[in-house]
């Protein structure tokens, strides 16, 4: 186990950061008086990100009746939080797909699941009412970034993890036993390295155990439920079939009735029909 945890910690320490434009945008967005134009100048320094944002906001998912032709126009229409999410989506997409030593099929699967998690978490935030839908999108998008580190640096451990599970261990505990820390902790350590807000780090760390979140249990619960409904939707299985388990406390913590939540599969299906172009563009 010691060798694994040292490998993981070294991987986090040496990991290439998200593009500078993403890091700067996240930092600026934490200022209380930030307005969309404050982000435009930063984003425009990266032509690829600028082009990607325009492609994303012109997708059917946003449903604008006219083509958005410039970043300032997009910023004014979308607002700060949505603009930040599009930057993160653009930069994270490149990050997932270009992440060395991960085969393209695994990288694309992890990325597509992350985008669906983000959309589902945002939808649940709208249902819940008090959690900002854009914060939920961000946490949904990045909650499983730890899996990417494991896929790259600890691929040989999969059989060891499954062996622990076959002996009765929960999957999260099995990862911790084999690797020295589970994927949620790995993702949180990475988010800390990227200087992401504490609430996002805490949510990533506790997205499977939202009752343990220290900063925003509602956000952690919404993020957890976003992953649950995504897995159920993509796999065609019951909510309880999630390999990491369903935290029933999340319904109470988020103030959501299970009956309303169970209807999310149909809602998510409709949203993803609109978002298919968005997924391809991302």
* pLDDT score recorded for residue 2: 46
Q: What whole-number distance in Å separates Cα of residue 279 and Cα of residue 36?
A: 24
The torsion region of residue 195 among left (phi > 0), alpha (psi -120 to 50) and beta comes to left
Cα dist from 248 to 54, 81, 110, 131, 251, whole Å: 39, 29, 25, 19, 6
Q: What is 2-281's CATH topology?
A: Hypothetical protein af1432 (1.10.3210)
Is pLDDT of 66 > 90? no
Looking at per-residue pLDDT, the higher value among 203 and 42 belongs to 203
- Rg (alpha carbons) of the chain, rounded to whole number: 18
* 90, 57 contact by CB (below 8 A): no
Q: What is the mean pLDDT of residues 133-141?
A: 91
Cα dist from 15 to 63, 138, 187, 191, 281, whole Å: 37, 20, 12, 11, 25
* pLDDT score recorded for residue 155: 59
CA torsion through residues 123, 50, 152, 8, sign: negative
Q: What is the mean pLDDT of residues 192-213?
A: 93
Q: What whole-number distance in Å separates Cα of residue 13 and Cα of residue 22?
A: 19
Is pLDDT of 13 > 80? no
Q: What is the pLDDT of residues 206-263, one digit of tens each?
A: 999 999 999 999 999 999 999 998 888 888 888 888 889 999 899 989 888 888 777 7
* pLDDT score recorded for residue 102: 64
Mean pLDDT of the chain: 84
Cα dist from 41 to 4, 38, 45, 61, 86, whole Å: 42, 7, 7, 25, 15
Q: What percentage of the chain carries pLDDT values higher than 70?
A: 91
* pLDDT score recorded for residue 98: 65
Residue whose tokens read 């990288």: 107
Q: What is the pLDDT of residues 107-127, one digit of tens each?
A: 778 888 888 899 999 989 988
Looking at per-residue pLDDT, the higher value among 124 and 95 belongs to 124
DSSP strands (E only) in 84-132: none
* pLDDT score recorded for residue 128: 74
Q: How would residue 154 be classed by pLDDT, with cut points 50, 70 and 90?
A: low
- Quick one: which of 13, 8, 229 has its CA closest to 122? 229
Domain extents in the chain: 2-281
Looking at per-residue pLDDT, the higher value among 153 and 227 belongs to 227
Is pLDDT of 64 > 50? yes
Is pLDDT of 1 > 70? no
Of 16-20, 56-60, 249-253, minimum mean pLDDT range: 16-20
* pLDDT score recorded for residue 281: 65
Looking at per-residue pLDDT, the higher value among 84 and 15 belongs to 84
Note the residue count of the chain. Answer: 282
Q: What percentage of the chain carries pLDDT values higher than 90?
A: 23
């Amino acid at each position: 186990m010691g060798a694994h945890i040292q490998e993981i910690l070294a991987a986090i320490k040496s990991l290439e950061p998200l593009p500078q434009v993403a890091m700067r945008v996240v930092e600026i967005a934490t200022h209380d008086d930030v307005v969309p134009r404050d982000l435009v100048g930063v984003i425009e320094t990266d032509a690829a990100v600028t082009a990607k944002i325009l492609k994303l906001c012109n997708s059917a998912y946003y449903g604008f009746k006219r083509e958005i032709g410039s970043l300032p126009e997009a910023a004014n229409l979308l607002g700060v939080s949505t603009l930040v999410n599009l930057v993160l989506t653009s930069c994270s997409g490149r990050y997932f797909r270009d992440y060395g030593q991960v085969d393209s099929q695994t990288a694309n699967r992890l990325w597509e699941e992350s985008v669906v998690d983000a959309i589902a978490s945002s939808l649940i935030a709208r249902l819940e009412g008090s959690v900002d839908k854009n914060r939920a999108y961000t946490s949904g998008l990045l909650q499983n970034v730890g899996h990417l580190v494991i896929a790259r640096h600890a691929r040989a451990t999969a059989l060891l993890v499954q062996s622990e599970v076959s002996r009765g261990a929960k999957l999260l505990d099995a990862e911790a036993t084999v690797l020295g820390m589970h994927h949620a902790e790995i993702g949180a350590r990475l988010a800390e390295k990227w200087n992401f807000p504490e609430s996002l780090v805490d949510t990533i760390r506790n997205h499977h155990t939202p009752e343990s979140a220290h900063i925003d249990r509602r956000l952690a619960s919404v993020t957890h439920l976003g992953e649950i409904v995504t897995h159920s939707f993509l796999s065609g299985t019951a909510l309880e079939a999630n390999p990491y388990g369903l935290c029933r406390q999340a319904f109470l913590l988020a103030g959501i009735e299970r009956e309303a939540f169970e209807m999310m599969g149909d809602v998510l299906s409709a949203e993803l029909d609109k978002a298919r172009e968005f997924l391809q563009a991302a």
